[in-house]
């Protein structure tokens, strides 16, 4: 064990301006101890009872996120940690464990008042340590909050992108397989002996079917009945692949009356080949439409990401449609909305003019507020309702994010905007989301208030339209 002297402490950067007599007082009133490797200096939630100075050894500080350890820093020799003068912290926000045998000088918090009243230079040095620690810890936690938010959004976005991407892959493979049957169908069609007038009529009729037919919304019973009717017609006219064709025809909105209309223009011996040819065109049309829709979905998602981050714009305030940012935020959170089966209600004031704001920053506000609302409604078995309401109030715009969750406990309402305050379990929140919201709203010369009772919680953001 290293002998702790006032001269040794004065060689530490944090205590170099403290007189030797005050450092001697600190040593005389402190406990010197050895923390074995693997033992905790403190654990999250435990009371902070000491100011700890690392004399020798190392201590790892970490938090738990999503069941995993996230290291936030390492206390090296000369580090001052724990309770500090004028600190309002009562419990540890993280874990600290010795990674090797560590020697400590531990000053009890119960003697802090005596230090403050009788040892000015020592108190001043430790206050400076606290200010530096707050700055560093805030920066680290803000980065952690951003990474957690990014992780949530990226997970949802990856899920949303995966669905249309997979649909494109499946559609392309099916289309390729389907096109392998084209030569056979072409051979059957080319061998037909029909007049030019008949060919033109059938071709025009098919064009109308592909362009104008809309897929009907049918119950299982209705679909089954229509398929049975179509199969009966196909069988009566000796059409090959009757079951497959009937299923596709019904899905496309092609009815028995349509088949009869085609029949009037086709020699009887060619009805089977023409029906199979029509089916082939319908299947191709549907596959291409599905691929087109999936591709458009990906394009919309990428566009939403671009607009959400405002990546192609500067960071100064500019006029923009506030509803666009809100919709893009909903798109980013779509996976979470669907996962919890949340109903979305949009009460937008369409008379709102473009708002002058830092759109990317405002999108962070909507993201944090909606994400909190969705968390509050988790487990409501499909009964959750997220309402977003906008109104013009004179020269101000007011945006309300409302959920029908259990509400905010009365004892927490006064603390929800405090940095690091969170009611979420470890790993789900850092307590900086609403602090970030509050700071961004203040940047826009606005205000935010909360109204909460069981079954209705509303966060109301108000700021100038021409801010």
Residue 243: give the domain boundaries: 176-293
Instruction: Determine the Cα–Cα distance for residues 311 and 315; give it in Å rounded to an integer.
Output: 9
Together in a domain, 100 and 221: no
Helices (H), 92-219: 112-118, 120-179, 182-190, 196-212
Structure tokens at 331: 């798109």
Together in a domain, 315 and 281: no
SS3 of 305-335: HHHHHCCCCCCCCEEECHHHHHHHHHHHCHH
Tally of structural domains, the chain: 3
Together in a domain, 320 and 398: yes
Together in a domain, 48 and 80: yes
Q: How far is CA 145 from CA 121, 136, 373, 428, in A?
A: 36, 14, 17, 10
Query: What confidence category does residue 273 fall into, taking pLDDT thresholds of 50, 70 and 90?
Result: confident
Instruction: Determine the Cα–Cα distance for residues 327 and 388; give it in Å rounded to an integer.
Output: 10
Residues 69-75 have a mean pLDDT of 80
Whether 253 has a pLDDT exceeding 50, the answer reads yes
Together in a domain, 17 and 77: yes
Whether 414 has a pLDDT exceeding 60, the answer reads yes
Q: Where is pLDDT greater, at 309 or 176?
A: 176
23 occurs within a structural domain: yes
Whether 400 has a pLDDT exceeding 90, the answer reads yes
Taking each helix axis as running N to C, give the angle between helix 271-309 and helix 242-252, from 0 to 180 degrees, rounded to the nearest 10. 40
Residues 361-383 have a mean pLDDT of 86
Q: Name which of 345-354, 382-391, 411-420, 427-436 the model is least confident about.
A: 427-436
- Report the candidate in 31, 41, 34 with the shortest Cα–Cα distance to residue 2: 34
**Which CATH number covers residue 449?**
3.30.565.10
Together in a domain, 91 and 237: no
| Predicted pLDDT of residue 23 | 94
333 occurs within a structural domain: yes
305 occurs within a structural domain: no
Q: What is the mean pLDDT of the chain?
A: 82
| Predicted pLDDT of residue 429 | 46
**Which CATH number covers residue 93?**
2.60.120.10
Among residues of the chain, what percentage have pLDDT more than 70?
81
Together in a domain, 274 and 314: no
Question: Any bridge partners for residue 199, and if so which?
Answer: none
Together in a domain, 251 and 371: no
127 occurs within a structural domain: no
Task: Report pLDDT digits (tens) over 307-325.
Answer: 555 544 545 678 888 898 8
Residues 378-398 have a mean pLDDT of 90
Together in a domain, 316 and 454: yes
Residues 435-463 have a mean pLDDT of 89
Q: Are strands 343-347 and 385-393 parallel, antiparallel or unpaired?
A: parallel
| Predicted pLDDT of residue 283 | 81
300 occurs within a structural domain: no
């Amino acid at each position: 064990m290293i002998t702790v002297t006032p001269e040794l402490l004065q060689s530490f950067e944090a205590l170099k301006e403290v007189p030797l007599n005050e450092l001697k007082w600190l040593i005389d009133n402190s406990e010197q101890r050895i923390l074995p490797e693997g033992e905790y200096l403190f654990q999250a939630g435990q009371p902070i009872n000491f100011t700890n100075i690392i004399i020798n050894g190392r201590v790892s500080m970490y938090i738990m996120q999503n069941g995993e350890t996230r290291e936030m820093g390492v206390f090296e020799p000369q580090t001052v940690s724990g309770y500090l003068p004028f600190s309002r912290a009562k419990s540890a926000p993280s874990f600290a464990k010795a990674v090797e045998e560590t020697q400590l000088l531990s000053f009890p918090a119960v003697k802090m008042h005596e230090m403050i009243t009788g040892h000015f230079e020592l108190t001043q040095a430790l206050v400076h340590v606290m200010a530096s620690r707050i700055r560093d810890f805030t920066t680290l936690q803000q980065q952690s909050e951003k990474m957690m938010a990014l992780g949530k959004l990226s997970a949802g976005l990856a899920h949303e992108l995966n669905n249309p991407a997979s649909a494109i892959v499946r559609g392309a493979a099916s289309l390729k397989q389907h096109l392998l049957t084209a030569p056979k169908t072409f051979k059957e069609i080319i061998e037909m002996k029909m007049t030019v007038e008949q060919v033109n009529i059938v071709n025009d009729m098919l064009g109308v079917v592909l362009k104008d037919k809309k897929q009907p919304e049918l119950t299982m019973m209705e679909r089954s009945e229509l398929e049975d009717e179509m199969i009966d017609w196909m069988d009566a006219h000796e059409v090959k692949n009757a079951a497959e064709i009937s299923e596709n025809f019904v899905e496309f909105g092609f009815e028995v009356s349509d088949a009869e209309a085609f029949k009037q223009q086709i020699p009887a011996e060619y009805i089977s080949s023409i029906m199979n040819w029509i089916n082939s065109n319908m299947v191709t049309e549907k596959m291409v439409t599905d691929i087109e829709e999936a591709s458009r979905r990906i394009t919309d998602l990428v566009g939403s990401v671009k607009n959400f981050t405002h990546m192609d714009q500067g960071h100064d305030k500019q006029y923009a449609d506030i509803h666009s940012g809100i919709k893009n935020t909903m798109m980013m959170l779509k996976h979470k909305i669907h996962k919890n089966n949340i109903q979305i209600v949009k009460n937008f004031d369409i008379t709102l003019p473009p708002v002058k704001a830092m759109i990317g920053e405002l999108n962070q506000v909507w993201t944090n507020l909606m994400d909190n609302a969705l968390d509050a409604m988790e487990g409501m078995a499909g009964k959750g309702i997220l309402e977003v309401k906008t109104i013009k109030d004179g020269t101000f715009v007011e945006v309300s994010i409302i959920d029908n969750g259990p509400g905010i406990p009365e004892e927490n309402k006064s603390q929800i905007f405090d940095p690091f305050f969170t009611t979420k379990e470890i790993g789900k929140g850092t307590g900086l989301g609403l602090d970030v919201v509050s700071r961004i709203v203040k940047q826009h010369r606005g205000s935010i208030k909360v109204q909460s009772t069981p079954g209705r919680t509303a966060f109301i953001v108000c700021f100038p339209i021409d801010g």
